[in-house]
A and B are shown apart, each in its own frame.
Chain A
Amino acid sequence: MSEPEFKLPTPSARELLWRGFFSENPVFRLALSLCPAVAVTTTAKNGLLMGIAVLAVQVLSSFTVVCVRRWIHDKVRIPVYTIIIATWVTVIDMCCAALVPAVYAEIGLYIKLIVAFAIIISRLELFASQQPLGPSLVDGFAMGLGFAFAMVLIGSLREALGGGTFWGIALLPDRPLLFLLLPAGGFFTIGLLMAAMNWIDLWRGRRLPGSGGGHA
């Protein structure tokens, strides 16, 4: 693959971390990888495991793509990236099944489905296929961390308000909003959190994007 003619300037590590957490948060801003964000976040623990799995796959795939991109022809890069991701997902899937069987029984299907998450391949395509190794790793790490942060945030909210517990420890005497644990609750939680992030942006004196958060 020939080097691109003009190169985007490489952002600093701090900038990348800020992007992953807030300004380009994969769940709240880019609205990618939503399936697990709604599906496995009934408890904070499930959310954390999912976040760590995605973080690992993202960093490992970014690393692999940076290493082998010289030999990948431009026309077949998407299938090759997909196979790289699928390989790492298989590895992580087996690790999760061996290390945390109890949680894996609940969210196993969604770990396998990391392959189809748009966030990972979009980071490979937009960043790791053009930038040097160091920043690519930081970018993968920041995006994974931002995703894990979003997962834990949604999971904690749903678990605390819906189940009255946090991390399995009883927090409240009853279950104030049981319906948050239902399928519908996940959609409501994410919608409200997205609106909250928009509100913070407005409060900081920034204009909202035309579509009102999210690029979709």
Chain B
Amino acid sequence: MPDRGKIIDVHQLAVPGLPPTAPEQLRLTTTTDPDVPIAITVVAPATDRPETAVLTTAATLDPKLAYQLTHLETGTQWIVAPSLIGTALTVLIAAALVQNFVFTRYLGLCVFFGVSRKRDTAIGMGVTFTIVGCLSGALAWAIDRFVLGRLQLHFLQIIIFIGIIACLVQTVDTILRKVHRPLHRKFGIYVVLITTNCIILAVPLLNALNQRGFLESLALALGSGLGFALALFLMSCARERADLAPVPIVFRGLPIAFILAGLFALAFLGFSGLRV
């Protein structure tokens, strides 16, 4: 297992256990493109940590990419990569808040406007959707990676993913009915509605498009579910109030709900200042 380095600035890289070396002795590349070396200008010992060297590069470094550093004489290797957990958390927070699927990507709106009338139904739908979404995200990732990828059948993605989701929804419904009847009476209706929610299809499609790993895929599924649940809950609270307010007659019902959603979307713009 090679040692890990760390990107500390856009042009600087801290590498533990590297003795003072001439820049020509080192070769830095991205792991995806090992033929293109990145020029290193200065190698200096770090002032704050022992046994660590700080490399300065001419090109800017992207903390989201994975790099590989090789000492040409000794053959020692270092990996500079973002930690898996960190990336997954970034994806999760981005999906839930910064790029909330409902308010900034406008997905799942049919269900969103359909079940956001009452707070109870909103919570039920949010919880059910998050759980089923994680299951389908993981399953779709596995099938995409191990079946469609191996057989070069990427053009079948839409059909296969919707098939997986339909089967999964049916399975969850059946299992819930057999195993826990009261729970099924409470949540069964939401399970059936999940098939018409485009978020559940968008998550595997986005994962396949960006070629995400398993942990990141799961994070996107979880984040989208949490984001959807949050949006539903907020909206149901606002709509319960709007039902009691003296709304002009042509705006009653759905039109005012759209205006409310627009206001929420404006508020969620505030999250775009969050750099993740």
Contacts and interface: CB of A to CB of B under 8 A. Distances in A.
A and B are partners in one complex rather than unrelated chains? yes
B253 A213 contact: yes
A189 B107 CA distance: 17
A159 to B, nearest CB: 17
Contacts of A31: 110, 113-114, 254
A197 to B, nearest CB: 9
Label chain B's interface by main secondary structure.
helix
Interface string A195-210: 1101100100000100
B266 to A, nearest CB: 4
B253 A34 contact: no
A90 interface: yes
Contact of B205 (A112, A190, A199): A112
Contacts of A94: 155
Nearest to B251: A195
A39 B265 CA distance: 13
Given A86-B162, A94-B155, A184 B266 contact: yes
Nearest to A29: B254
A83 B205 contact: no
Interface in A141-165: none
Interface in A110-129: 112-113, 115-118, 121
Interface in A161-214: 182-188, 190-192, 194-196, 198-199, 202, 208, 211-214
A211 B110 contact: no
B104 interface: yes
Contacts of B108: 35
B162 A212 contact: no
A98 B248 CA distance: 47
A79 B166 CA distance: 7
Nearest to A40: B106
B110 A32 contact: yes
Report which residue of B209, B255, B259 has the largest number of chain A beta carbons within 10 angstroms of its beta carbon: B255
Interface residues of A, number: 47
B18 interface: no
B255 A191 contact: yes
Interface string A54-87: 0000000000000000000000001100110011
A139 interface: no
Contact of B249 (A35, A202, A211, A214): A202
B13 to A, nearest CB: 34
A109 B206 contact: yes
Contacts of B77: none
Given A79-B166, A87-B159, A208-B249, A116 B196 contact: yes
B259 A188 contact: yes
Report, nearest first, the 9 A-B pairs whose CB atoms are least far apart.
A212-B253, A191-B258, A187-B262, A212-B252, A184-B265, A34-B109, A214-B254, A39-B106, A116-B198
Given A79-B163, A94-B155, 17 more contacts: A35-B108, A79-B166, A90-B158, A113-B198, A113-B205, A121-B196, A182-B265, A183-B265, A183-B268, A187-B259, A191-B255, A195-B255, A196-B250, A208-B249, A208-B252, A213-B254, A214-B253
